Structure 1
């Protein structure tokens, strides 16, 4: 009797195992959720003479920087436009220091206010909107700073973070916000 029960259980197991779909063993790409809000490119440029990275969503403004010794470096990320805010999004403030020739981004209003109160930076307004937490397939927007050349650098590319820290002497100050990937 025990042998008949064991044989029946083994037959049921084999039937289920053989009927199960085969897996390929390769990882399938994850689908990135979409919050449904339109995004715009956050353009990045670099000036070697000013040792400054600049970020803008305005192509005309970028063209002006490019005629003033900046070199286009492509799209840093995709953010929500300044005139379209998602319910959970926060402003990405842009500041500028003519003393240091430095553009600075922050999604933290307190950080913006403290930086402005020091007198070296002025407000350049809101570049767009970003997420304070990882939402809808967003990725971290990392802030790096080099106190020697007085430059703030922002990227979503972890390899750039490593290169700027290891090869160029920047400090990794962590994620300031979450944005749509490049």
Structure 2
């Protein structure tokens, strides 16, 4: 009799599990998490890196502002080194500021970070908005530092970063923040979605 009661209890438990409504795992229900925790990539813009050959300085900025600024100021010493990542030029939900730091008013070296302060460095401005952790398809913005030339260089390409720090004089400067890879967001008025 005890064995048959155990069987009936197990059988009723199985039936109640089968009769329970199934959770909705449709593709639309899975999309909700990303829109609730990611900034809108269609509002993002391309950031580029430039190099000042006179001051041996690399700088980052949104492409449109960087091109406009160097052109309007007649800053012929800056060389465009190309697009390196996608981020937001205005604050978005789920993003944090990417700060530009320098050592003095001479502007001989720039360092970028989501940290609100870096000992020995002066926080100058916010160049854009990025993720603080690796989420939503973001990649690390990797820094390298050349102490002899007091220059920081940034890339999202891991192999490029590894090769650079393997060269004498360059050291790992850590992760400045997490950005979207090229081909994501808005670029030159066209939208790219990965």
* Pair in the same fold by TM > 0.5: yes
Which consecutive unaligned segments of at least 5 residues does structure 1 have?
1-32
- The separation in 2 between residues aligned to 1:152 and 1:98, in whole angstroms, is 17
TM-score (ref. length: structure 2)? 0.64
Other structure's SS at 1:63 match? helix
- The separation in 2 between residues aligned to 1:89 and 1:163, in whole angstroms, is 30
1:68 Cα deviation after fit: 2.8
Q: Contact 2:70 / 2:76 at 8 angstroms: preserved in 1?
A: no
Select which of 28, 44, 48 maps to 1:43: 48
Select which of 87, 105, 108 maps to 1:101: 108
C-alpha RMSD of matched pairs (Å)? 2.3
Other structure's SS at 1:61 match? helix
TM-score (ref. length: structure 1)? 0.68
- The separation in 1 between residues aligned to 2:127 and 2:91, in whole angstroms, is 11
- The separation in 1 between residues aligned to 2:116 and 2:107, in whole angstroms, is 21
- The separation in 2 between residues aligned to 1:64 and 1:49, in whole angstroms, is 19
Q: Contact 1:100 / 1:150 at 8 angstroms: preserved in 2?
A: no
Q: Contact 1:43 / 1:62 at 8 angstroms: preserved in 2?
A: no
- The separation in 2 between residues aligned to 1:65 and 1:149, in whole angstroms, is 25
1:156 Cα deviation after fit: 0.5
Select which of 74, 82, 85 maps to 2:92: 85
1:43 Cα deviation after fit: 1.3
1:69 Cα deviation after fit: 1.3
- The separation in 2 between residues aligned to 1:66 and 1:145, in whole angstroms, is 28
Tell me: CA distance 1:126–1:100, structure 2 relative to 1, closer, same or farther (3 Å): closer
Tell me: CA distance 1:65–1:71, structure 2 relative to 1, closer, same or farther (3 Å): farther
- The separation in 2 between residues aligned to 1:65 and 1:132, in whole angstroms, is 33
Matched positions, count: 141
**Structure 2 residue 149 is matched with structure 1 residue 149:** yes
Tell me: CA distance 1:107–1:47, structure 2 relative to 1, closer, same or farther (3 Å): same
